[in-house]
Structure 1
Amino acid sequence: MPHISLDSDEPGILGLFRFRPETAAPMNALAEVLLRGESTLSRGERELIAAHVSALNQCRFCFSSHAAFAAAQLPEGMELVEQVRTDLDGAPVSGKLRALLRIAAAVQRSGRDVLPEHVEAARAAGATDLEIHDTVLIAAAFCMFNRYVDGLGTVAPDDPAAYTAMAERIVASGYPSASAGAEARDR
């Protein structure tokens, strides 16, 4: 049960966004740019970074959501997401993505845990400065999102179908805009 009265039975961050649409709008805008905007990393790869950080933070709602979003956009689907979660070293991802996921894991522990060696390894595997930048920002943002969701005690559905339905909406339409937040508030 959430720690505050949300006036909504929507799970996780969705109920929080409905509660305070004026803070939802910039958070969704950031997610839209980082996870769906122009990038040399695929949308699935960026969602995988978000899911990886959420798994490390043990945020069930965010991991389940972004795992579904990644799986819907990666040819290898949920099998790859689970392999990354359980065995990053053995997961069949590119050297570049593995290095970026290691940077994301370092950010999850502490921004100061990102060492020159992490960045050098990512560059040696072909990562650009923009990809490194965006990986750090995705990881930092998801630490915030995870703490927001868990810090207010939101609920997370047990049924994977709920996350699959969310993934279909996100893949098709993206993260809600500021106008969608205002519409939610006005309902």
Structure 2
Amino acid sequence: MRNGPGEYNHEGSSTPHITLNSDEPGIRGLFKYRPEAAFPLNGLVEVLLFRENSLSRGERELIATYVSALNECRFCFFTHAAIAAAHLSEGMTLVEQVRADLDAAPVSDKLRALLVIAAAVQQSGKKVSKEDVAAARAAGATDLEIHDTVLIAAAFCMYNRYVDGLATVATDDPAHYAARAQRSDGYLAVLTDSLSQS
């Protein structure tokens, strides 16, 4: 049985490893520090999580959330959990069920198979087996959905390591993440608004 990582029960109290030019938490502070990198990073996540796709926005955000949970990246988990919950009819209940026990979570066979692939990528790209891919196909996943699942998982390993590798700060207060989760104009629009307020 696959089990999710432990609960995140306390607020982060770390000080970033570098001096940032903003008190924005997590990746937001890093984007303000290095906007030249922020635009391509947000462009990628815009394509993967926001633009039209045969997987729903909630499903794709859930893949990003699951990988962030496996990597124990508090900021990315809380951010994308809130967005996933806003786009899934079962809301945060489903997010928590997937994190706690993917085998028992009430998701479609296709989404479960894709989340298994995402979890394999989180360990190593070489952990994705032919059997994993065959199971996803048998459950109805297209090649594009398998491709995007692998890329979402790989990208979020990078984002998670970027956020945690510089010891950024993240709050556990759900209200902090809720407002961003309600926005419907995409990642690049949010970034542009954020940078214009600098």
**Unaligned ranges ≥5, structure 2:** 1-14
Matches within 5 A, 1:1-187: 1-169=15-183, 172-177=184-189, 180=192, 184=195, 187=198
Q: Aligned Cα RMSD in Å?
A: 1.6
Looking at structure 2, the residues matched to 177 and 10 of structure 1 have their Cα atoms a distance apart, in angstroms, of: 17
Looking at structure 2, the residues matched to 16 and 179 of structure 1 have their Cα atoms a distance apart, in angstroms, of: 11
Deviation at 1:82, TM superposition (A): 0.2
Looking at structure 2, the residues matched to 103 and 56 of structure 1 have their Cα atoms a distance apart, in angstroms, of: 13
8 Å CA contact retained: 2:120, 2:128: yes
Letter of the 2:64 partner, please give it. Answer: A
Looking at structure 1, the residues matched to 68 and 85 of structure 2 have their Cα atoms a distance apart, in angstroms, of: 15
Count of aligned pairs between the two proteins: 184
8 Å CA contact retained: 1:55, 1:63: yes
8 Å CA contact retained: 1:61, 1:156: yes
Higher helix share: 1
8 Å CA contact retained: 1:52, 1:101: yes
8 Å CA contact retained: 1:71, 1:77: yes
Change (3 A) 1:151 1:162: same
Structure 1 segments, 4+ long, off by >4 Å, are none
Change (3 A) 1:91 1:186: closer
Change (3 A) 1:42 1:59: same
Looking at structure 1, the residues matched to 188 and 39 of structure 2 have their Cα atoms a distance apart, in angstroms, of: 8
Q: Does the residue aligned with 1:176 lie in a helix, a strand or coil?
A: helix
Work out the percentage of aligned pairs sharing the same amino acid: 70
1:119-172: per-residue Cα shift (whole Å, max 9, x none)? 000000000000000000000000000000000000001211001112113xx2
1:93-114: per-residue Cα shift (whole Å, max 9, x none)? 0000000000000000000000
TM-score by length of 2: 0.89
Letter of the 2:186 partner, please give it. Answer: G
